[in-house]
Amino acid sequence: MNGPVARVLLIGVPAPPPIRSTNERKLAYGKTAVGFPELDTVPEELEWFDDLLTARLGERNMSLTRVVSPANTTSEKVRKAITEAVSLEPVPPLLILYLAGHGVQFERPADDDGAAISLNGSRRFDEAFATSDGYVLDRELKRMLDAKPATTRLIAFVDTCHADGMLGVRGVQALDIVEELAEGEFGRLVISSSRKTMTAPELRQGGVLSTTLRRIVEDPENVRTYRTLCASLARVAAEVYQQQIVVRYTAADGTFLDTMPFASET
């Protein structure tokens, strides 16, 4: 194939979520945006991940888009970057997305019939990625990523609170393959820093997913394949940080998990 084998999209928003007006839907559990901290390490985390991919893929084998700014990573910029990543021809066989920042849950109005989680049968929620001027809902992120070509595989790292609900991916969890799911379809591998009903700790070094990833890549045995990468992330996050990393992938990716992570031969 001529051109890059991977398109890399790094999106990070260090700023706290904006305060919403009273006539808009409320943050879950009575929270306000005032209590969210600035995520100062996000730009450096994305820079590190860029360096990691460049070392493994080779600069000529990847095309990179970075969307990160403390005050100017707007919802429109995030939507534009994802839309272009999945549509600008030629789309490479591999799309790598790293999403870092604040994730929130909104209570959903009772008459809103879109997909949602229900925690107790009466309260329903949307996950959303916080930008510098608003939010991008989980269903928007899913819809944009669903537009990728069928022959392009998505590998996504989501380092936010409520991360497992952020991309709306429903697949196999915890590295167990369910054969009837997505048979024959080019798949998705989504690694999330938290369950959709849970928050994720912000460590001194950065987000828990980024921090764990840095820790495990020091040992080549941890990153021999995507399968060992995911297993090592889950093990170290649980043992060291008491955090559950969630891994989901479509069943068609069972064989792909045993290939070398971020290899130019992908």
CATH code assigned at 30: 3.40.50
229 within some domain: no
Strands 135-137, 124-130: pairing is antiparallel
pLDDT reported for residue 216: 95
Of 86-95, 118-127, 246-255, give the lowest mean pLDDT range: 118-127
Q: Is 62 helix (H, G, I), strand (E, B) or coil?
A: strand
- When divided into structural domains, the chain yields a total of 1
84 within some domain: yes
pLDDT reported for residue 223: 93
pLDDT reported for residue 17: 75
206 within some domain: no
Whether the pLDDT of residue 24 is over 70: the answer is no
222 within some domain: no
Given a contact cutoff of 8 angstroms between Cβ atoms, the answer to whether 33 and 24 are in contact is no
pLDDT reported for residue 177: 39
Q: 133-165 b/e with 16+ CB inside 10 Å = b?
A: ebbbbbbbbbebbeebeeebbbbbbbbbbbbbb
Question: The whole model's pTM is what?
Answer: 0.86
Can you read off the two tokens belonging to residue 10? 């790094």
Span 231-241, average pLDDT: 91
Whether the pLDDT of residue 119 is over 60: the answer is no
Question: How many CB atoms sit inside 10 A of residue 18's CB?
Answer: 15
Q: pLDDT tens-digit profile of 133-151?
A: 888 999 899 999 989 888 8
Q: pLDDT tens-digit profile of 82-106?
A: 999 999 888 899 999 999 999 988 8
Helices (H), 6-158: 42-57, 75-87, 138-146
In residues, how long is the chain?
266
1 within some domain: no
Which stretch of DSSP H or E encloses residue 10?
Answer: strand 6-12
- DSSP letter for each residue of 166-212: TS----EETT---TTSSTTS--EEEEESS-TTS---EETTEEHHHHH
Whether the pLDDT of residue 110 is over 70: the answer is no
What does each C-alpha distance from 190 to 76, 125, 154, 157, 175 come to in angstroms? 23, 21, 8, 6, 11
260 within some domain: no
Distance CA 193, CA 100 (A): 10
Question: Which domain does 157 fall in, by range?
Answer: 6-199+244-252
What does each C-alpha distance from 71 to 36, 68, 87 come to in angstroms? 15, 9, 27
217 within some domain: no
Can you read off the two tokens belonging to residue 190? 């989504």
52 within some domain: yes
Q: pLDDT tens-digit profile of 28-75?
A: 544 555 567 888 899 999 999 999 999 999 999 999 999 998 778 899
Provide, rounded to the nearest whole percent, the portion of the chain with pLDDT above 70: 75
